[in-house]
């Protein structure tokens, strides 16, 4: 995992608004990049749908239906306005509406990432905090060893090992393949989430654990923590009331990073478990050269990045009185 | 520090000298596929009956040069962007950071996958895309540290005597970035290895019959239970290298904080 | 990402299909065999949901009987619908299913098909001549450009006459000895006259309940199935294109049977009493293709040198993990007319070197285009690279993913791989692969003597004489053809030991050609 | 009666076993304030912390006893020690800005002391907090209690710490340089609050400081510490006016004193200003500057002649540093006329020629930060030689080594990195770097405020010599009016972006006219004044 981004505290509310506008600008830029990038690909979508030997008149008709006969800029705006109305076009492979195709998969992925984050963040905080408070002691060292080893293992290895341990060779407690029928509530298939989520958690845990450990160590050395101790405050309270709230602040940005990392991590993890989500949809779409699906997923992931970061900024401001109430 | 250096040196040694030490060529068929370790093949054979040991000894160079190249290019690019953005204190900073945001919005794996699927599994392309995906991350770190340093009076002192901008960037700022940059490069390096190996794993990287650690893991994963060394041996090399670079990066940042240098908050 | 497809099916979407083949007149083959459920070793038990982990499959999945393209599609179509005939799993000879009989006239240009009596569709309607005629028209509709049309291109949709409720007479533009072979394909299921793919009604052993492309389908038992069975109550076919995931799903008990287990996992499953392997020897072949009209392979000596470079035993051993049989550069080993007497070609590096020298090459640098179009193909390519080194031939691999491989450059590669499912007739195979006008003539083989023999064989009614001609053709292929057919791969599937009813199958399709009506829980 | 009794206290750094406190003994009576004086690194904070039974990470108490109201603190178990802290002995830190939890409201932080020790009924605590705040003259309304630390000024933060320290009515208080970093006026206020609170609540206090003038202001008795040892203890008057130890005497000699100008009154130092005929090296006319809508400089005028030292005195926020930076052309410069030897200087730095840049040099408050940490001292000093005089790297290096030697820096310093040398040495090196430019004017921005008293004195001496020997004009920016007396020829007092008082030092300090100047002088603590 990577390090915390540098956080430059600027005035709270106005700054947040500026970030939100920037986020929109970023999204627009991303949509341009995605659109032009996929435009640059060789091949004609109409021919891709109808096949190489399709009658020219039918190709022409489809080109008209797909809006391919207007200038590229016009196409871009049509596409963009489609997205804004929730219409991502039609899949070249399955000829279904992309939005419908990705709706349940998006929900599955969202649940997967949400579940992973819901496990990863508290566990990281507990491990990191525990480790920080026992700095340089055996407990700290063992956490260090664990996180270092986990960092060194690519997530596909972690996933493979989990499958062997829990789904096939050693025990058969959990499903090795995440089979969630489309249209059925993923909540009935909770077991299908466990191994993919665990893989994502193990992939991101080291980063967040270390981040929070570092943050806690820094805070535990802060003057106000020493001051609290010198006031006679109980150690438990020193940690929970004085250290943790301040140590959490960089962790918010770190968690955002973890979330956006998971958004990429699902590509490998979903592939590994055949989990019906956006990640496996992306690998499928790439194999099928299914442009509208690729475009849609790229835009959705970018949007997620923007939203998560915005949320993190908002939370950071909420958690940092200096940013929240700066008026002097 | 010593342990980290030793681990990294070991893996680089294997990658560079390995081909000379290998008992077989990496593509020679030694035994039946997935034979367990024996005198003929010390680590057993892979899914095609080739000697795992020889393939491991031969398979490091590609991972290493690709990761190194990607990291180096990414770090150079990112450092340039970060320095200019951090030092400019103007709209250039905003624009550059915004552009990095656009790149950051694509998860690294997705970015590489998109490009490779469009343009085919060219090694230079993978190196380039990985480095491009590193650049904004390095740039943000460099920018942050640069802003911290720029606010220190010694930069202003140089400005007041009229040192040209280029010299301020290269001679005043850059030396102070060395430590955090080393740490960052260490981290980026482990990322590069992960991505390069991952891309090979997904089948877009080094192509068979070449030996490559990532590819080996992918090729032999079906035989993991039959003949675990086909996966474990290359995995161990990657893991040792990753842990080694991590340890080195950590040692560097620790020594930096000991001497009161500007140190990134790892 | 090993989403390889049956190459022919894939090609149907990509390449213009003209007529497939027109056969000379021939007598009707013995076609009287019927599927025999009673031959089962065990008394079947009823009930349960059969869950199948299918290979291939993806967002392009369809239930349209005539648009199916991948194995998951085939599995669904074979169980919703039925065919006029299909090759017997063991004998590999055509066996009647919905057809009761198919008789040609003397000239072989008029065929009378009589449908089985008492077969009903899922909606209760009985199968009749109108349905057959509708099916043929639908398959051949020029508007929908179906791949199925090519397989029965020898049929004239306007030349059908309804003789009675169960009988249709086909007037063919040209004589054809193997009328039914075009109907014994994955894309020629018989549908009712009012067929609507959105509500897929057929005569198959299972009835439609639900379906999500790229994910799964759920069918229920058709209690009025004509052929005996099915025994299970429900059939769930789940797409798990990734082979590792598929095996894991079986091992983890998430599915009861899977199609195509990778060779590398065979040992894992074999060692476990909870699972069984279904090992079918097939005529499926995964050749290297050399373009006979482009250097360096335009010189037959170079082609022969290449064939001599291959150590076939080693290739079967290393690339297929021994799961196959050595090939002799000829296809259709199960054909009664197969040239068994030709000596088995063996590796002979010295001779290969000498041939290369004669052809003016001291060394040879060539590129082999490979793709994971089926299990063992990329592996075999790697083995070839290694084996060729000994003869001073330096092969560089260019690995593509299957969809790129079957892209616009397909059939243009100088040196490449391919994947062929077996056909049950040598001449049909020639017409597709290296005969005159063959659509997939990847080797660009165009030998006047061979072509001449081919047209003679097509017209030859006498089986013995035809055999002679065919063996001559095979000798030509053996001596100067463009294929390196180094082996035939086994089709290996795996299933839970709780299941019974599967049997080895020569058709090259997984899971006994998806014959799930025979399968039951023990 | 002694509330605090410390006997043969020894503290070591755990890793190196170096002693940071050696056999320290002292006692404090109820209601009395004992000042502990020493320079940085003398171990005074370590001793103070021991009163709370606390050591910083990496240090251990290896011997001695600390008694507080009879209880042996060092032998207490963790819980009793914790129960005692904040209730019987409390602590006021040097920098309240970082000692207050940034994410907790200030009211809660004060109330926490009561909650922790279970003092008073929960519903009465709010009242008690309010009373405590009133005690230190802070507002006690809800709005104030609900503020976060960053919303308070430095003085308010420190008074809040005082309120927090006194709220549990402790027997003893430890104050660690509580007024460092505060303005003189704020310092005066805080000092009087502390003095008043100690007397009123009969609390004994250990007051740690490096500033003898503050000692004179607040303490009853004084204890001087050097390298971990107490070198002198005694009654305030005795120690300040009849010091027994050499070190105490040197400290006293080095301490700047606002009354010192009287000694130099009528000397040559006051003369140049009268010499109107002499052309000003640097002059400013109607200088104004705004940051956005906020105007920080309001039409300032001044003149600086060669060899003159002009002191710019003011509290933080008075605009003195802004003026200095504007003269350098930094942050875009300012409006109005800046003339150098009669020629107009462009306002912004990048519009100035190399020669114009050379003649004006700036020295920063924090010597370490103004040196590139990645280059040796000689490299840092040599860059002007290379840049302005086109010297080769080798020549520049030789000249820097010479220059450093001229400023009486040891030879070894040339090849050392900034972090390896002391603040005083580093500040000398920055002076050397400025001198390397052969400037006519040097602007010194609070250049001694980060240094110990004795080092400060030596730097001041050096500047005086340079000014006299080289005819350098100095603009000496400081918040410490006491320092002005010993160095400046003339003084400009700044308040709110304007110069409110400007004239020869003797006149401004001796006969202050502006009420602000008068207040400033009155509130500045002084060792010699305490004699009266």
Q: Does domain D260-341+440-523 have CATH number 3.40.50.720?
A: no
Interface test with chain A among C16, C58, C59, by most A beta carbons within 10 Å: C59
Burial (0-12, 13-18, 19+ Cβ within 10 Å), A7: middle
Q: Does C378 touch chain B (CB under 8 A)?
A: yes
Q: How confident is the model over A186-215, as a mean pLDDT?
A: 89
Residues of D in contact with B163 (CB under 8 A): 383, 387
Q: How is residue D298 annotated by DSSP?
A: E
Q: How is residue C82 annotated by DSSP?
A: B
Least confident interval from C246-250, D51-55, D236-240, D255-259: D255-259
Superfamily in which the C288-489 domain is placed by CATH: Dipeptide-binding Protein; Domain 3 (3.10.105.10)
Which residues have CB under 8 Å from D139's CB, separation 6+?
D133
Residue with tokens 């114009």, as numbered in its chain: D356
Residues of chain D with CATH 3.40.50.300: 2-102+173-253, 260-341+440-523
Residues of B in contact with A151 (CB under 8 A): 190, 242-243, 246
Residues of C in contact with B27 (CB under 8 A): 382, 385-386
pTM for this model (two decimals): 0.82
Q: How is residue C120 annotated by DSSP?
A: B
What is the chain A residue with the closest CA to B99?
A26
Task: Indicate the residue of B34, B208, B226 with minimum beta-carbon distance to C382.
Answer: B208
* Nearest residue to C477 (alpha-carbon basis) of C445, C429, C436: C445
Chain A closest CA to C258's CA: distance in Å? Answer: 13
The CA distance from D279 to C7, in Å, is: 97
Test B157 with D354 for CB contact under 8 angstroms.
no
Chains that touch D (3 or more CB pairs under 8 A): A, B
Average pLDDT, chain C: 84
Test B157 with D433 for CB contact under 8 angstroms.
yes
Q: What pLDDT score was predicted for residue D261?
A: 66
Strands D360-363 and D441-445: parallel
Q: What are the DSSP calls for B28-62, one per residue? A: -B-SSTTPPP-SSSTT-B-TTSBBHHHHHHHSHHH
Instruction: Read off the tokens for C498.
Output: 């709780």
Instruction: Supply φ then ψ for residue B45, to 5 degrees.
Output: -120, 165
Share of chain D above pLDDT 90, in %: 28
Is residue D394 a contact partner of residue D417, using CB atoms and an 8 Å limit? no
Chain A closest CA to D168's CA: distance in Å? Answer: 10
In the predicted model, is pLDDT for residue C3 greater than 80? no
Chain B closest CA to C34's CA: distance in Å? Answer: 40
Residue with tokens 């550059």, as numbered in its chain: B96
Residues of A in contact with D54 (CB under 8 A): 226, 229-230
Q: Does C265 touch chain B (CB under 8 A)?
A: yes
List D residues 154-173 in contact with A (Cβ-Cβ < 8 A): 164
pLDDT band at D96 (very low <50, low <70, confident <90, very high): confident
Task: Indicate the residue of D329, D362, D373 with minimum beta-carbon distance to B176.
Answer: D373
pLDDT, tens digit (0-9, with 9 covering 90-100), for C376-408? 888 899 999 999 998 999 999 888 777 677 777
In the predicted model, is pLDDT for residue C16 greater than 90? no
Instruction: Kindly report the CATH number that applies to the domain delimited by D2-102+173-253.
Output: 3.40.50.300
Q: Does C321 touch chain B (CB under 8 A)?
A: yes
Task: Indicate the residue of D328, D372, D419 with minimum beta-carbon distance to B154.
Answer: D372
Angle ∠(D477,D481,D484) on CA atoms, nearest 5: 65
pLDDT, tens digit (0-9, with 9 covering 90-100), for C461-503? 677 888 999 999 999 999 999 999 999 999 999 999 999 989 9
Least confident interval from A62-71, B44-53, C424-433: A62-71
* Nearest residue to C150 (alpha-carbon basis) of C140, C160, C158: C140
The CA distance from A221 to A225, in Å, is: 7
pLDDT band at C219 (very low <50, low <70, confident <90, very high): very high
Instruction: Read off the tokens for D6.
Output: 């410390």
Test D370 with B153 for CB contact under 8 angstroms.
yes
Q: How confident is the model over B32-58, as a mean pLDDT?
A: 86
Strands D309-313 and D490-495: parallel
Q: What pLDDT score was predicted for residue A52?
A: 53
Test C59 with A288 for CB contact under 8 angstroms.
yes
pLDDT, tens digit (0-9, with 9 covering 90-100), for A266-276? 888 888 888 88
The CA distance from D492 to D474, in Å, is: 13
Q: How is residue C83 annotated by DSSP?
A: -
Test C262 with B222 for CB contact under 8 angstroms.
yes
Q: What pLDDT score was predicted for residue B159?
A: 85
pLDDT, tens digit (0-9, with 9 covering 90-100), for C306-322? 999 999 999 998 888 88
Instruction: Supply φ then ψ for residue D304, to 5 degrees.
Output: -130, 125
Interface test with chain B among C2, C3, C261, C264, by most B beta carbons within 10 Å: C264
Superfamily in which the C45-81+204-282+490-522 domain is placed by CATH: Periplasmic binding protein-like II (3.40.190.10)
Chains that touch B (3 or more CB pairs under 8 A): A, C, D
* Nearest residue to C170 (alpha-carbon basis) of C118, C117, C105, C106: C105
The CA distance from D30 to D93, in Å, is: 21
Q: What pLDDT score was predicted for residue A60?
A: 75
pLDDT, tens digit (0-9, with 9 covering 90-100), for A245-298? 899 988 898 899 899 888 888 888 888 888 889 988 888 887 777 788 888 998
Counted residue by residue, chain D has a size of 532
pLDDT, tens digit (0-9, with 9 covering 90-100), for D151-182? 888 888 988 999 999 898 899 999 998 888 78
The answer to ipTM > 0.90 is no
Boundaries of every domain in chain C: 45-81+204-282+490-522, 94-200, 288-489
The CA distance from C127 to C98, in Å, is: 9
In the predicted model, is pLDDT for residue C37 greater than 70? no
List A residues 94-153 in contact with B (Cβ-Cβ < 8 A): 148-149, 151-153
pLDDT, tens digit (0-9, with 9 covering 90-100), for B7-35? 888 888 888 888 888 888 888 888 888 88
Is residue B224 a contact partner of residue B231, using CB atoms and an 8 Å limit? yes
Query: Pick the residue with more confidence: C75 or C185?
Result: C75
Q: What are the residues of chain D with a beta carbon less than 8 Å away from any beta carbon of chain B?
A: 328-330, 349, 352, 354, 357-358, 360-362, 364, 366, 369-375, 380, 383-384, 387-388, 419, 433, 437
pLDDT, tens digit (0-9, with 9 covering 90-100), for D484-523? 888 888 999 999 889 999 999 888 888 888 999 998 888 8
| CATH architecture of the domain with residue range C94-200 | Alpha-Beta Complex (3.90)
Alpha-carbon distances of A286 from A92, A96, A156, A298, C388, rounded to whole Å: 11, 17, 19, 12, 34
Average pLDDT, chain D: 87
The CA distance from D451 to D210, in Å, is: 10
In the predicted model, is pLDDT for residue A165 greater than 70? yes
Q: How confident is the model over D245-268, as a mean pLDDT?
A: 72
Q: What pLDDT score was predicted for residue A50?
A: 61
Test C399 with B208 for CB contact under 8 angstroms.
yes
Test A321 with D116 for CB contact under 8 angstroms.
no
Q: Does A254 touch chain B (CB under 8 A)?
A: no
Instruction: Supply φ then ψ for residue D496, to 5 degrees.
Output: 55, 40
Q: What pLDDT score was predicted for residue C2?
A: 35
pLDDT, tens digit (0-9, with 9 covering 90-100), for B107-127? 888 888 777 777 777 788 889
Domains of chain A: 105-325 (1.10.3720.10)
Cα of first residue to Cα of last residue in chain C, in angstroms, is: 35
Least confident interval from A239-243, A311-315, A319-323: A319-323
In the predicted model, is pLDDT for residue C9 greater than 50? no
Q: What pLDDT score was predicted for residue D100?
A: 92
Q: What pLDDT score was predicted for residue A48?
A: 61
Average pLDDT, chain A: 82
Test B198 with A154 for CB contact under 8 angstroms.
yes
Angle ∠(C155,C156,C158) on CA atoms, nearest 5: 145
Instruction: Supply φ then ψ for residue D351, to 5 degrees.
Output: -90, -10
Instruction: Read off the tokens for D163.
Output: 């309120």
Q: What pLDDT score was predicted for residue A49?
A: 61
What is the chain B residue with the closest CA to D420?
B259
> Are there at least 3 beta-carbon pairs closer than 8 Å between C and D?
no
In the predicted model, is pLDDT for residue A198 greater than 90? yes
Residues of A in contact with C149 (CB under 8 A): none
Average pLDDT, chain B: 84
Test A288 with C60 for CB contact under 8 angstroms.
yes
Chain D closest CA to B155's CA: distance in Å? Answer: 8
């Amino acid at each position: 995992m990577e390090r915390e981004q540098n956080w430059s505290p600027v005035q709270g509310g106005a700054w947040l608004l500026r970030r939100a506008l920037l986020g929109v600008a970023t999204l627009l830029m991303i949509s341009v990049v995605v659109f032009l990038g996929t435009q640059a690909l060789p091949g004609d979508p109409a021919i891709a749908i109808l096949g190489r030997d399709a009658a020219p008149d039918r190709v022409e008709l489809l080109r008209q239906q797909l809006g391919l006969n207007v200038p590229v800029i016009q196409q871009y705006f049509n596409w963009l306005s489609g997205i804004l109305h929730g219409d991502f076009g039609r899949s070249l492979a399955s000829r279904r509406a992309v939005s419908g195709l990705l709706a349940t998969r998006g929900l599955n992925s969202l649940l997967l990432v949400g579940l992973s984050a819901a496990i990863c963040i508290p566990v990281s905080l507990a491990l990191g905090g525990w480790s920080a408070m026992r700095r340089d002691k055996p407990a700290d060292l063992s956490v260090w060893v664990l996180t270092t080893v986990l960092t060194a293992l690519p997530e596909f290895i972690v996933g493979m090992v989990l499958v062997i341990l829990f789904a096939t060779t050693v025990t058969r407690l959990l499903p090795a393949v995440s089979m969630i029928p489309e249209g059925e509530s993923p909540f009935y298939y909770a077991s299908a989430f466990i191994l993919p989520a665990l893989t994502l958690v193990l992939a991101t845990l080291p980063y967040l654990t270390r981040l929070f450990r570092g943050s806690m160590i820094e805070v535990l050395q802060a003057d106000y923590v020493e001051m609290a101790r010198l006031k006679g405050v109980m150690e438990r309270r020193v940690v929970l009331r004085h250290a943790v709230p301040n140590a959490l602040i960089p962790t918010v940005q770190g968690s955002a990073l973890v979330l956006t990392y998971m958004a990429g991590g699902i590509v490998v993890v979903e592939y590994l478990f055949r989990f019906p989500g956006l990640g496996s949809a992306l690998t499928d779409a790439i194999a099928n050269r299914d442009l509208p699906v690729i475009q849609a997923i790229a835009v959705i992931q970018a949007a997620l990045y923007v939203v998560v970061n915005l949320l993190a900024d908002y939370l950071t401001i909420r958690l940092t009185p200096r940013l929240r109430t700066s008026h002097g | 520090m010593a342990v980290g250096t030793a681990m990294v040196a070991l893996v680089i040694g294997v990658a560079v000298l390995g081909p000379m030490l290998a008992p077989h060529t990496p593509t020679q068929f030694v035994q039946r596929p997935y034979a367990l370790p024996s005198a003929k093949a010390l680590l057993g054979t892979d899914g095609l009956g080739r000697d795992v040991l020889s393939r491991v000894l031969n398979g490091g160079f590609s991972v290493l040069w690709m990761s190194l190249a990607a990291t180096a290019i990414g770090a150079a690019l990112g450092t340039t962007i970060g320095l200019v953005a951090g030092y400019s204190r103007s709209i250039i900073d905003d624009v550059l950071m915004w552009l990095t945001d656009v790149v950051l919005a694509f998860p690294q794996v997705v970015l590489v996958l998109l490009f490779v699927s469009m343009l085919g599994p060219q090694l230079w392309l993978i190196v380039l895309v990985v480095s491009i995906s590193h650049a904004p991350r390095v740039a943000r770190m460099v920018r942050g540290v640069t802003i911290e340093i720029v606010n220190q009076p010694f930069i202003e002192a140089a400005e007041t005597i009229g040192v040209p901008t280029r010299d301020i960037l290269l001679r005043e700022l850059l030396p102070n970035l060395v430590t955090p940059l080393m740490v960052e490069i260490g981290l980026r390096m482990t990322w590069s290895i992960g991505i390069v190996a991952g891309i090979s794993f997904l089948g877009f990287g080094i192509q068979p019959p070449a030996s490559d650690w990532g590819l080996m893991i992918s090729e032999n994963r079906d035989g993991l239970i039959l003949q675990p060394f086909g996966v474990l041996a290359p995995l161990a090399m990657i893991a040792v290298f990753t842990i080694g670079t991590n340890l080195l990066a950590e040692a560097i940042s620790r020594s930096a904080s000991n001497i009161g240098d500007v140190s990134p908050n790892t | 990402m090993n989403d390889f497809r049956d190459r022919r099916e894939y090609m149907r979407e990509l390449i213009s299909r003209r007529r497939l083949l027109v056969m000379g007149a021939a007598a009707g083959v013995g076609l009287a065999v019927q599927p025999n459920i009673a031959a089962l070793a065990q008394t079947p038990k009823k009930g349960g949901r059969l869950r199948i982990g299918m290979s291939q499959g993806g967002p392009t999945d369809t239930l349209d009987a005539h648009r199916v393209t991948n194995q998951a599609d085939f599995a669904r179509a074979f169980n919703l619908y039925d065919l006029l005939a299909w090759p017997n799993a063991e004998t590999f000879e055509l066996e009647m299913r919905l057809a009761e009989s198919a008789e040609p006239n003397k000239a072989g240009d008029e065929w009378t098909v009589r449908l089985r009596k008492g077969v009903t569709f899922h909606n209760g309607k009985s199968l009749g001549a109108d349905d057959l005629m509708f099916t043929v028209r639908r398959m051949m509709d020029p508007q929908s450009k179906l791949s199925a049309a090519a397989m029965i291109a020898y049929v004239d949709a306007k030349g059908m006459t309804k003789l009675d409720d169960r009988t249709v007479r086909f007037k063919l533009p040209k004589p054809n000895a193997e009328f039914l072979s075009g109907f014994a394909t994955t894309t020629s299921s018989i549908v009712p006259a009012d067929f609507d793919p959105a509500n897929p009604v057929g005569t198959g052993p299972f009835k439609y309940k639900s379906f999500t492309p790229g994910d799964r389908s759920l069918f229920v038992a058709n209690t009025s199935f004509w052929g005996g069975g099915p025994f299970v109550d429900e059939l769930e076919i789940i797409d798990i294109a990734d082979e590792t995931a598929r095996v894991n799903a079986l091992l983890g008990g998430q599915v009861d049977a899977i199609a195509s287990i990778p060779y590398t996992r065979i040992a894992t499953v074999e060692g476990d009493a909870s699972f069984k392997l279904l090992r079918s020897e097939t005529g499926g072949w995964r050749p290297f293709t050399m373009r006979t009209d482009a250097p360096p392979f335009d010189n037959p000596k170079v082609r022969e040198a290449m064939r001599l470079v291959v150590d076939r035993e080693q290739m079967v051993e290393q690339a297929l993990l021994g799961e196959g049989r050595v090939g002799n550069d000829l296809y259709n080993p199960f054909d009664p007319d197969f040239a068994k007497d030709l000596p088995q070609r063996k590796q002979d590096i010295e001779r290969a070197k000498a041939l290369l020298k004669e052809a003016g090459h001291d060394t040879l640098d060539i590129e082999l285009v490979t793709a994971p179009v089926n299990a063992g193909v990329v592996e075999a390519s790697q083995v070839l690279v290694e084996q060729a080194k000994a003869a001073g031939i330096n092969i560089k691999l260019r690995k593509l993913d299957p969809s790129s491989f079957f892209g616009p450059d397909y059939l243009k590669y100088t040196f490449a791989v391919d994947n062929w499912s077996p056909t049950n007739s040598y001449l049909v195979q020639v017409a597709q692969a290296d005969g005159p006008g063959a659509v997939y003539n990847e080797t660009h083989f165009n030998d006047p003597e061979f072509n001449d023999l081919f047209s003679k064989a097509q017209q030859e009614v006498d089986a013995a004489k035809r055999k002679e001609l065919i063996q001559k053709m095979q000798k030509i292929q053996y001596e100067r053809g463009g294929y390196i057919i180094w082996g035939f791969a086994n089709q290996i599937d795996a299933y839970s030991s709780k299941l019974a009813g599967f049997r080895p199958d020569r058709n090259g399709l997984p899971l006994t050609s998806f014959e799930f009506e025979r399968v039951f829980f023990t | 009666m002694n509330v605090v009794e410390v006997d043969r206290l020894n503290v070591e750094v755990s890793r190196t076993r170096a002693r940071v406190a050696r056999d320290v003994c002292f006692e404090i009576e109820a209601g009395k304030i004992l000042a502990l004086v020493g320079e940085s690194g003398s171990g005074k904070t370590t001793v103070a912390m021991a009163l709370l039974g606390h050591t910083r990470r990496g240090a251990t108490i290896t011997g001695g006893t600390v008694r507080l109201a009879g209880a042996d603190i060092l032998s207490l178990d963790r819980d009793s020690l914790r129960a005692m802290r904040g209730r019987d002995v409390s602590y006021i830190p040097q920098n309240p800005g970082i000692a207050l939890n940034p994410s907790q409201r200030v009211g809660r932080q004060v109330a926490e002391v009561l909650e922790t020790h279970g003092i008073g009924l929960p519903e009465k605590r709010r009242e008690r907090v309010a009373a405590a705040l009133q005690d230190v003259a802070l507002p006690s309304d809800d709005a104030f209690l609900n503020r976060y630390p960053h919303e308070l000024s430095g003085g308010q933060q420190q008074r809040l710490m005082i309120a927090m320290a006194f709220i549990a009515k402790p027997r003893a208080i430890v104050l660690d340089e509580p007024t460092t970093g505060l303005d003189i006026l704020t310092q005066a206020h805080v000092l009087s609050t502390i003095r008043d609170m100690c007397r009123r609540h009969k609390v004994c206090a250990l007051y740690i400081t490096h500033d003898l003038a503050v000692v004179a202001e607040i303490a009853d008795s004084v204890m001087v510490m050097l390298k971990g040892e107490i070198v002198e203890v005694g009654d305030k008057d005795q120690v300040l006016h009849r010091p027994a130890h050499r070190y105490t005497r040197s400290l006293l000699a080095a301490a700047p004193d606002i009354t010192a100008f009287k000694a130099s009154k009528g000397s040559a130092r006051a003369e140049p200003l009268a010499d109107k005929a002499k052309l000003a090296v640097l002059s400013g006319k109607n200088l104004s500057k705004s940051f956005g809508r906020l105007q920080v400089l309001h039409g300032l005028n001044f003149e600086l002649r060669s060899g003159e030292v002009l002191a710019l005195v003011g509290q933080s926020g008075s605009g003195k540093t802004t003026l200095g930076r504007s003269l350098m052309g930094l942050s875009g410069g300012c409006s109005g006329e800046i003339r150098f030897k009669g020629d107009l200087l462009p306002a912004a730095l990048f519009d100035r020629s190399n020669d114009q840049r050379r003649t004006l040099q700036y020295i920063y408050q924090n010597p370490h930060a103004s040196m590139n940490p990645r280059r040796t001292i000689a490299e840092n000093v040599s860059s002007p030689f290379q840049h302005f005089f086109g010297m080769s790297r080798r020549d520049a290096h030789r000249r820097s080594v010479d220059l450093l030697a001229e400023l009486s820096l040891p030879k070894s310093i040339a090849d050392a990195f900034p972090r390896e040398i002391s603040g005083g040495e580093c500040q000398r090196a920055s002076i050397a770097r400025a001198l390397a430019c052969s400037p006519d004017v040097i602007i010194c921005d609070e250049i001694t405020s980060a240094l110990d008293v004795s080092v400060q004195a030596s730097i001041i001496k050096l500047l005086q010599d340079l000014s006299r020997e080289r005819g350098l004009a100095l603009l000496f920016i400081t918040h410490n009016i006491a320092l002005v007396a010993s160095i400046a020829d003339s003084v400009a007092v700044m308040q709110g972006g304007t110069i409110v008082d400007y004239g020869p030092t003797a006149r401004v300090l001796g006969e202050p006219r502006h009420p602000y100047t008068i207040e400033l002088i009155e509130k500045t603590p002084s060792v010699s004044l305490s004699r009266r």
